[in-house]
Amino acid sequence: MTGETEILGESLPFDERIELLNWAYRKIDLKAYRASHASSIKDSATQWERVAKELVWQRPWDKVLSVGDHPHVAKWFEGGALNLSQLALDRHVEGPRRNKVALIWEGEAIGKDGGPSEVRKLTYFDLWREVNRFAFLLKNNFGMKKGDRMAVYLPMVPEAVVVLLAAARLGVTFTVVFSGFSAEALSSRINDLGAKLLVTADGLNRRGKQVSLKEIADKALE
């Protein structure tokens, strides 16, 4: 497996390699691991505070751990705030991964060779830029703000990732509805969530056929 990992990693052009956590390249000190494990059992608050400091926090916590009257009720990192979108993008854009490929998308296979109809590659900076553009659109054109709710009814395309990260950036709660679901199924999920906005697309290609998502969405909204 180590050999395969090295071949896959080195076969890509330098600027297109995807940096993943790869244990094949890590030297694990068993003694240090056991010490860390023992520390997590003896003093879990200190252990997880150390781990939490590896993340970028919007607002630092006031207290690492608060245990209530019931022994199984605990609150971690009270007062602290994280943003999933910023953790996924900003910290990479501000570092050496800025121009590394973050996402590779392949369209539906067509033709005799069975190859993808289209291939798109987005770097961390590409994604960051598109996510901020869509977040601006959600906020300024549609008035979406933290605590609002929206439904997402999109095919498996890079734009779906952009939409979800943009919503997370604003603090908008969302539900993702599978693009193969019917108008009735979509409608019930919109109502269950109490969504004030639906994000969809004109359509998609599935097994060589065109599916009109917009028509299904219109029926759901009725």
* Residue 58: inside a domain: no
Same domain, 35 and 105: no
Same domain, 190 and 138: yes
> What is the predicted pLDDT for the residue at 10?
46
Mean per-residue pLDDT for 193-197?
Answer: 95
134/145 Cα distance (integer angstroms): 13
What is the tally of structural domains in the chain?
2
Contact 217, 186 (CB under 8 A): yes
Question: What proportion of the chain, given as a percentage, has pLDDT over 70?
Answer: 84
Same domain, 204 and 128: yes
Mean per-residue pLDDT for 41-67?
Answer: 91
* Residue 54: inside a domain: no
The pTM of this model reads 0.77
Same domain, 38 and 109: no
> What is the predicted pLDDT for the residue at 118?
83
Same domain, 139 and 208: yes
Same domain, 208 and 121: yes
Same domain, 23 and 88: no
Q: Does residue 13 carry a pLDDT above 80?
A: no
Same domain, 110 and 21: no
The enclosing domain of 208 has a CATH number of 3.40.50.980
pLDDT tens for each residue of 21-35: 554 555 667 888 888
Strand partners, 210: 205
Residue type, 153: Y
Q: Residue 166 belongs to what domain range?
A: 84-221
State the average pLDDT for the chain.
Answer: 85
* Residue 55: inside a domain: no
Instruction: Reduce the DSSP state of residue 18 to 3 states and report it.
Output: coil
> What is the predicted pLDDT for the residue at 69?
76
* Residue 60: inside a domain: no
* Residue 50: inside a domain: no
* Residue 72: inside a domain: no
Same domain, 143 and 37: no
Question: What proportion of the chain, given as a percentage, has pLDDT over 90?
Answer: 60
Same domain, 95 and 187: yes
Q: How far is CA 218 from CA 48, 59, 149, 214, in A?
A: 47, 41, 19, 6
* Residue 62: inside a domain: no
Same domain, 38 and 88: no
Among residues 1, 219, 222, 18, which one has the least CA distance to residue 103? 18
Q: Does residue 53 carry a pLDDT above 50?
A: yes
> What is the predicted pLDDT for the residue at 107?
84
> What is the predicted pLDDT for the residue at 74?
85
pLDDT tens for each residue of 162-179: 999 999 999 999 999 999
pLDDT tens for each residue of 113-150: 666 678 899 999 999 999 999 999 999 999 999 999 99
Contact 178, 214 (CB under 8 A): no
> What is the predicted pLDDT for the residue at 139?
97
209/140 Cα distance (integer angstroms): 36
* Residue 57: inside a domain: no
Same domain, 94 and 204: yes
